[in-house]
């Protein structure tokens, strides 16, 4: 449940971001928080995958130009994170 709440907050922050750097900073902050909370690696992968799916399901016609730019940045960044998670060993709880 905590992870779902973090995902919802993250989505709101992504949509209100004003730059690519801000989007990446927000995502990095949440990923660090998950790691600090000792969330297991599998759950982190699920978090990233769910965020990616939610971002992909958004309709550009329903978003402003700035929101859509932030969505595209977040999608690309989550794809990079996902590839990195595939190559790094998960931490253990």
Note the pLDDT of residue 40. 86
Residue 93 maps to a domain: no
Residue 92 maps to a domain: no
Check if the beta carbon of residue 58 is closer than 8 Å to that of residue 71: yes
- What is the model's pTM? 0.88
Note the pLDDT of residue 89. 58
Mean pLDDT by 10 residues, the chain (93 residues): 85 96 97 89 93 96 96 97 82 47
Q: Which structural domain, as residue segments, surrounds residue 52?
A: 2-87
DSSP 86: H
Note the pLDDT of residue 58. 96
User: CA-to-CA distance for 67 and 51, rounded, in angstroms?
Assistant: 15
Residue 29 maps to a domain: yes
Domain total for the chain?
1
């Amino acid at each position: 449940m905590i992870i779902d709440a973090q995902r919802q907050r993250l989505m709101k922050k992504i949509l209100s971001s004003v730059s690519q750097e801000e989007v990446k900073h927000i995502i990095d902050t949440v990923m660090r928080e998950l790691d600090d909370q000792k969330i297991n690696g599998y759950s982190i992968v699920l978090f990233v995958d769910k965020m990616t799916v939610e971002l992909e399901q958004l309709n550009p016609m329903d978003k402003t130009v700035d929101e859509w730019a932030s969505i595209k940045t977040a999608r690309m960044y989550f794809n990079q994170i996902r590839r990195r998670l595939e190559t790094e060993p998960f931490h253990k709880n």
